[in-house]
Amino acid sequence: MLRVVFDVNVLVSSLITKGKPRKLWFKARRKSFALILSKEIISEFVKVMSREKFSRYVNEEDLRVFLQALYETALLVKTRSRFKIMKEDPEDDMVLRTAYDSKADYIVSGDKHLLSLREFEGIRIVSVDEMLKILEGKKLKPSFSLF
């Protein structure tokens, strides 16, 4: 089974929007792949969701229910790595460490810094749209040309 780490922005989008991030979240709930998270990612998610700007999308009960579903769905891993890779956005390192320490296959993110890496230590970094295509078995166009 594929092991997939969601970035905080994917969790936020899956909670507050009805588009592709939520579709991917429902696939995680149905165990189409193993969702991998860490305490650091969940803590950052809660911190982000406590910002005033998100109160118009969800209330405390919505957040509580979503967190309960996260704990029921995700495999929580303890991160042991302490490397620092992302100079532009050091918060992204927690996502890389979670994926690395859990031996994940994919990181799903909407973050331009992470997506620009495309791969880290054998872990592919993809957008929500790319992950949905992968799960649906569609071939992705290569992002580069050999010629």
Summarised one tens digit per residue, pLDDT across range 100-141 is 999 999 999 999 999 999 999 999 999 999 999 999 986 555
68 in any annotated domain: yes
pLDDT at residue 11 above 80? yes
13 in any annotated domain: yes
Tokens of residue 78, six digits: 């303890």
Are 3 and 36 in contact by the 8 Å Cβ rule? The answer is yes
Instruction: Give the number of domains in the chain.
Output: 1
147 in any annotated domain: no
- Torsion angle in degrees (nearest 10) through CA of 86, 37, 79, 130: -40
pLDDT at 41: 97
> Residue 134: what are its φ and ψ, rounded to 5°?
-60, -45
pLDDT at residue 142 above 80? no
pLDDT at residue 79 above 90? yes
- The CATH code of the domain that includes 70 is 3.40.50.1010
Q: pLDDT tens across 16-65, in order?
A: 999 999 999 999 999 999 999 999 999 999 999 999 999 999 999 999 99
Report the alpha-carbon distance of residue 44 to residue 9 in Å, rounded.
Answer: 10
143 in any annotated domain: no
Band (88; pLDDT cuts 50, 70, 90): confident
Q: Which domain holds residue 112?
A: 3-135
Positive or negative: CA dihedral 51, 110, 105, 93: negative
Report the alpha-carbon distance of residue 116 to residue 15 in Å, rounded.
Answer: 25
103 in any annotated domain: yes
